[in-house]
Amino acid sequence: MESMVKCPDCGASFSIEAALAKEYLQKIDTENKHRYQKNLSQMQKTLDQEFEQRLKAEVGRLKEKLAVEFEDLKNETKEKTEVNQKLRSDLLEARKLLREESEKSRTQELEMQKKLSEQSALIRENEKRRVEDEFNLRMADKDKLISDMKSQIDELKRKSEIKSGSHQGEVLETTFEDQLRTAFPHDVISEVAKGTRGGDVIQAVRTQTHQHVGSVSWELKRTIKWQHSWIEKVKEDIRIGRYSVGAIVTQTMPPDTSGLITIVDGVLVAHISVGLSMALLIRERLLSLHEERRLLAVTDDKKNTLFNFVTSDLRKDFIQMAENLINQEQLLSKEQRNSERTFAQRRKDMEALMKVLAKSWGGIQGVIGTDVAPIKLLELDAQSEIE
């Protein structure tokens, strides 16, 4: 049975065994706490020592591992550096080779472009020349439509463009010989051989019955300067060859001469364009003189009459016929100039039309582009116009 005790202060009752047990328990609890704290401190110290040892060991191991890895990384970095240097060297060499190859390719490309440009220029030039030749041929076909009178003048003009002086003279001689043979089929036309004394062409005038009535020594000159020594040569040729008449047909008339036919110191001089007309005049005079001499042989009265006619009227008739011939030649020259002016105007109109066509076609190409099929003739004409 428990002993009860009452507190004098509060009057509460409690068991002595319970109070003693509680005090004992508190004491034991306090001792246990001290022992626990001591053991816990000892254990904490032990754990700290073990942790420090383990940490040092782990740090040492990690340092060793890091040292090995660092050395390996260092070696790897060195190897990579060497590889990078080699790669960089190879890259620089490759870029150098690439630049050289690029420069070589560019040089080859420029040379190719230059060759292509030269070939293109040559093709354009050939095409231009072909079109010009074709155009000239077309114009030549139209030129054939000119009158017979102008065709003869054009033929003389074409022959006058021959550069060689000796060849020009031969062309003039051949042309004049052909004209004489065509105009006077009864006469004998002969060429004087080179190196032989005399004129260039000898015309033996004959009647329709082939009777010789006289001869003409023709001196043909195709130079740009008149020489007075030609007159003395013709006189000497007449004296030595005993010709009836001596005449000069020349491209250049004597100074201070306005007409196409004149007389210089007794020698007839005519321009090339009226040479055949003067030949007709001389031939008619020789036939007239032949007829007069025939009539003079009949009777003395007739001789006197014919002599008076020859000495008084012959010169007047000659001058009158020469003036008429000059008037006809002037009219012919005027008609020629009119024809050439008309022809030049038509050519100018055609060229203007071609320019308008080329300009219009260029405008169409500028709007539509290169899809439209080109017209080479118009493009070439436009290119020629620009150049």
* Mean pLDDT, range 145-151, rounded to an integer: 67
**What is the rounded radius of gyration, in angstroms, for the C-alpha atoms of the chain?**
66
In sequence order, the 6+-apart residues with CB closer than 8 A to the CB of 205 are: 184, 187, 212, 213, 214, 215, 216, 244, 283, 286, 287
Helix, strand, coil percent content, the chain, rounded in steps of 5: 70, 10, 20
* Mean pLDDT, range 171-181, rounded to an integer: 87
Nearest-CA neighbor of 261 among 281, 245, 236? 281
Q: What percent of the chain has pLDDT over 70?
A: 71
CA-CA distances (angstroms) from residue 50 to 36, 44, 47, 64? 20, 10, 5, 21
Residue-wise DSSP of 45-106: HHHHHHHHHHHHHHHHHHHHHHHHHHHHHHHHHHHHHHHHHHHHHHHHHHHHHHHHHHHHHH
Asked if residues 296 and 303 have their Cβ atoms less than 8 Å apart, the reply is yes
Each residue's pLDDT tens digit, 16-56: 666 666 676 777 778 777 887 887 788 888 887 887 888 88
* Mean pLDDT, range 62-84, rounded to an integer: 80
Distance CA 116, CA 128 (A): 18
The phi and psi torsions of 254 (rounded to 5 degrees) equal -60, 155
Ranges 142-146, 171-175, 319-323, most confident: 171-175
Distance CA 73, CA 79 (A): 9
Distance CA 296, CA 291 (A): 9
pTM above 0.75, yes or no: no
Each residue's pLDDT tens digit, 279-314: 999 999 899 888 888 776 655 555 566 556 555 555
- Six token digits for residue 316: 């007047």
pLDDT at 187: 92
Distance CA 288, CA 282 (A): 10
Residue 348 pLDDT class (50, 70, 90 cuts): confident
pLDDT at 301: 59
Average pLDDT value over all residues in the chain: 77
pLDDT at 387: 44
| Third-level CATH fold of 166-311 | Trna Endonuclease; Chain: A, domain 1 (3.40.1350)
Q: 347-356: long-range contacts at Cβ-Cβ below 8 A with a sequence spacing of 24 or more?
A: 347/139, 354/378, 354/381, 355/381, 355/385
Asked if residues 305 and 297 have their Cβ atoms less than 8 Å apart, the reply is no
- Six token digits for residue 128: 């231009």
pLDDT at 271: 92
CA 151 from chain center: how many Å? 34
Each residue's pLDDT tens digit, 98-144: 788 878 878 887 888 788 778 777 877 877 787 777 777 777 776 77
Residue 204 scores a pLDDT above 80: yes
Residue 350 scores a pLDDT above 90: no
Each residue's pLDDT tens digit, 205-258: 998 888 999 999 999 998 888 999 999 999 998 898 889 899 999 999 998 888
* Mean pLDDT, range 322-330, rounded to an integer: 71
Distance CA 283, CA 245 (A): 10
- Per residue in 200-217, is it b (16+ CB within 10 Å) or e — as a string? bbbbbbbeeeeeebbbbb
Count of residues in the chain: 387
Helix (H, G, I), strand (E, B) or coil at 364: helix
